[in-house]
Copies of this chain bind each other. A is one copy, B any other.
Amino acid sequence: MAKSSFEYVKKYERDDALLPNTWIVIRLDGKCFHKFSDDHNFTKPNDLRALKLMNYAAYTVMKEFNDLIIGFGQSDEYSFIFKKETSLYKRRAEKLLTTINSKFSSSYVFYWNKFFEEETLKYPPTFDGRIVLYPSEENLVDYLKWRQADVHINNLYNTTFWTLVLKGKLSPAQAEKRLCGTVSADKNEILFQEFNINYNEELEIFKRGTILLRKNLVENNTSKNVIVDVHDDMLKEKFWKEHSKILSVKPSKLNLEYTGKYTEIIREQLNCIK
């Protein structure tokens, strides 16, 4: 049983350490979630329970990995940003990618019942993941803008499509045809003129997705470091002016005060800390 004569196979493992001094972005994406959302009766065009579960799984990941400075989620995808200097797992790509992917996947199942009280999880879901490196702050900001612009485009389309189907009684094919070639203004108009829906009043979590950030919350003269879930507009420069420190200051020294509302995720952390 000489293990040593086989151990040479370990030499076939490759070194996959990522280039230092670059932003490591990990993006997870639900596999076959069109079918998954049908199988689990997700509300169309957005299911608030499903989005909250995604956020909670992502929050679980952020809690575990202190070097993650930003999370951004929408629909069935979530992006995680490591601080530029992270040396977690010696920046080994496979290790970083799989631990985050695994923690997210197992959390999604583990916390299902917390959000889907009456809907049973029928089978284990799958998320794929990828790593992308961004050398500059500008690249990273553009990445986040790209993902958030994507939410807007998809959500306006989906909101109009499903309104046409559910309230307008069009078939999916008819709704698709109706929307073919329309621009944003056209869709806003359809919603407002025909269904009296003001798209601007839709929930921000639907229109902008969710950003997870580390901030300080002052309560009873005590400052607490918490992960907050917000729906700010990253396409506006205002956001980056207020949050530029996130990209340049060490997470441990970051001192961004949070004055927004207490979400479930925030309340849970305050309860834990007390």
Question: A interface vs B, CB < 8 Å?
Answer: 1-3, 5-15, 17, 19-22, 28, 31, 60, 64, 94-95, 97-99, 101-111, 121, 123-136, 139, 142-143, 145-146, 149-150, 152-153, 184, 235
Contact = CB atoms under 8 A, between A and B. Distances in A.
Contacts of A107: 124
Contact of A130 (B64, B95, B104, B143): B95
25 contacts: A1-B149, A1-B153, A2-B149, A3-B149, A5-B142, A6-B142, A6-B145, A6-B146, A9-B134, A9-B139, A9-B142, A12-B21, A12-B133, A13-B132, A19-B19, A64-B126, A94-B130, A99-B128, A102-B126, A102-B129, A106-B108, A107-B124, A110-B121, A110-B124, A111-B124
Given A6-B143, A9-B132, 5 more contacts: A6-B145, A98-B128, A101-B101, A109-B109, A136-B136
Contacts of A124: 60, 103, 106-107, 109-111
Contact of A11 (B20, B64, B184): B20
A235 B1 contact: yes
A132 B94 contact: no
Nearest to A146: B6
Given A1-B153, A1-B235, A99-B126, A143 B9 contact: yes
B95 A98 contact: no
B127 A98 contact: yes
B184 A31 contact: no
A108 B108 CA distance: 12
Which of A95, A152, A184 has the most chain B CB atoms closer than 10 A to its own CB? A95
Contacts of A131: 94
A133 B19 CA distance: 8
Which of A108, A111, A128 has the most chain B CB atoms closer than 10 A to its own CB? A128
